[in-house]
Amino acid sequence: MRYTSIFLPLIFLIGCKASSSEIEADTVYANGIFWTGVENEPDARTMAVDDGKIVFIGQTLPAHISSEETIDLDGQFVMSGFMDNHVHFMEGGAALASVELRDATTPELFTQRITDYAKGLAEGRWVLNGNWDQTQWGGELPDKDWIDSQTIETPVYVIRLDGHMALANSAALRAAGITKDTVDPKGGVIMRDEQGEPTGILKGNALNLMLSVIPSPSDDELMEQFTMAQEHALSLGLTKIHAVTAYPTETTMLDIFKMARERGLMKIRAQVSTPIEAWEDMAAETAQDDTGDGLLKWGGVKGFIDGSLGARTAWMYEPYTDDPNNTGLPLNNPDELSEWMKAADNAGLELSIHALGDRGIDTVISEMKNIAGKGIQDRRYRIEHFQHPTEDAIEALSETGIIASMQPYHAIDDGRWAEDRIGAQRLKTTYAFRSILDAGGILTFGSDWPVAPLSPIKGVYAAVTRQTLDDANPNGWIPEQKISVEEALRAYTSTNAYAFNEESISGTLEVGKQADFVVLSNDPRSIPQKEITNINVFQTVIGGEIVYSAPTIH
């Protein structure tokens, strides 16, 4: 078959010894279609890699470059490795090792999966994660009564896929001391029935009430989850991720990544941001100009101004169309968040702030302007998600250099129901990819996994087609916000490299840059857009080392 040679490479032994003026590369990749990602540059046909870096890319290998190994790509498509701007990596790994509720399409299936999973757990273990979505079965929120009778002794705490709402059963509520008399925490809601009893649904900062009572996984369990997440990411063509987490914990995200590196498990490159509430800890990590290395970097903090549209906790100027007494809510006091942002910025830390609603986004932009003043263009501040901005907020991106850190798959998911939440008028600037680029803004892409699938190929498909998951928008949901395939690929590669402050070493296929690239089954630029999701990853290469190869196709 056509694809065989990528798995059974042609290897040529170079018989003559290289002179002092020659370069003997580790590997030459020949006969490929290399999309360099460089503006206005034609595709290349050949690339040479040595010591983890690109030493040649062009049409024909020069005579002064030789190699002991040449891989014939047989016309396959090669591009710089995908980067993910926003991934809950360990939560994703934990989800892979836990109950799967994302595709539960009825309350009965939701209940059955939880109770079946609980039966297989050892005493003292919890049912966690889940990533359920009530819109799959019509919108009714789950209730602890659905599962209590079958999980009397097993605590259950399963998260909605957006991470801003969860269901706890009675055993979990007891463990956390949540009763009829528990007061709603600031920025959070404990949903109650007509008698005032908790239904088990927790929103916003009410999720924090559970964190201290959930048993911590062992180091070995954490490494198992890390490895599962990493293998999944590499199989999807990801070579670098921006790992974030929602809450400060005893074992931090950075601790886990450092442990994986020390144990020799880490292959994927990562940049780790920690919760902004713990900015002093990150400042201490970087006090001696220590921000990691080429494999693992740190030095950023991530904060929240609001929640999500699905949970109706995104902070809006006007009430929700389907909840007229609710405008969402700030998860953190804006004044307190402002103080954290100022302190972190003064400590030289990188700022990433979660903001979805129009009011939340405007508040964050205003604060960033106040903190940085005239130097804001140099800061590379990021707004995570940037889903429902005003037109003024879109224009402000170009003026300030603030980066829109977006996740395109959310558009084709939320597009099934977003109009019910905020109405047609506010939808005009929802997931405004085209408007952001046309205004001169900086747009980066990622997944928000496990809230959405980790696959960057699915993300590219979402950005260029905007065809919602219910097939109700065959020409695209808000089609004027579609972007081209190359624009989407850049948002996953070179623009992410810029956001990481690494545009000089990664993000495009150029001489001197890291040899981080992927080999795909098809050129996404040249096939019908509806077929993009059928593209397979054949190889993922990081620093010149093959870290993933697809099973051989016979």
For the chain, the straight-line distance linking the first and the last C-alpha, in angstroms and rounded, comes to 7
b/e string for 293-330 if b means 16 or more Cβ within 10 A? eebbbbbbbbbbbbbbbbbbbbbbeeebbeeeeebbbb
What pLDDT does residue 8 have? 31
b/e string for 252-269 if b means 16 or more Cβ within 10 A? bbbebbbbbbeeeebbbb
Contact 82, 73 (CB under 8 A): no
3-state secondary structure (DSSP) of residue 55: strand
> What kind and span of H or E run contains 459?
helix 456-465
Could you tell me which CATH class the domain 90-211 is placed in?
alpha beta
State which residues of the chain have pLDDT below 50.
Answer: 1-20, 553-554
User: Where do we find the tokens 């799967």?
Assistant: 100
Amino acid at 550: A
> What kind and span of H or E run contains 193?
none
Helix and strand numbers (H, E) in the chain are: 17, 25
Q: What's the token pair of residue 265? A: 């498990």
Residue ranges covered by each domain of the chain:
4-81+513-549, 90-211
Laid out side by side, the sheet with 27-30 consists of 53-58, 46-50, 27-30, 70-72
Contact 273, 350 (CB under 8 A): yes
Neighbours of 377 (CB within 10 A): 13
What pLDDT does residue 212 have? 83
What pLDDT does residue 373 have? 94
What pLDDT does residue 247 have? 66
Measure the CA–CA gap between 425 and 510, rounded to whole angstroms. Answer: 44
> What kind and span of H or E run contains 423?
helix 418-427
Closest CA to 147 of 157, 138, 139: 157
Closest CA to 348 of 442, 269, 285: 285
Neighbours of 218 (CB within 10 A): 9
What pLDDT does residue 248 have? 66
Beta carbons within 8 Å of 217's beta carbon, 6+ residues apart: 94, 225
Measure the CA–CA gap between 229 and 234, rounded to whole angstroms. Answer: 9
What pLDDT does residue 151 have? 95
Burial class (CB within 10 angstroms; exposed 0-12, middle 13-18, buried 19+) of 417: middle
Closest CA to 32 of 3, 67, 54: 3
What pLDDT does residue 7 have? 37
Contact 495, 442 (CB under 8 A): yes
CA 505 to chain CA centroid, nearest Å: 21
Measure the CA–CA gap between 43 and 509, rounded to whole angstroms. Answer: 10
Can you give the pTM of this predicted structure?
0.86
Measure the CA–CA gap between 77 and 236, rounded to whole angstroms. Answer: 15
Helix then strand then coil, % of the chain, to nearest 5 = 35, 25, 45
> What kind and span of H or E run contains 269?
strand 269-275
**Torsion-angle region of residue 478: left (phi > 0), alpha (psi -120 to 50) or beta?**
left
Measure the CA–CA gap between 133 and 161, rounded to whole angstroms. Answer: 6
- 106-163 tens-digit pLDDT: 999 999 999 999 999 888 889 998 989 998 999 999 999 999 999 999 999 999 988 8
Contact 347, 300 (CB under 8 A): no
CATH (residue range 4-81+513-549): 2.30.40.10
Measure the CA–CA gap between 477 and 64, rounded to whole angstroms. Answer: 52
Beta carbons within 8 Å of 438's beta carbon, 6+ residues apart: none
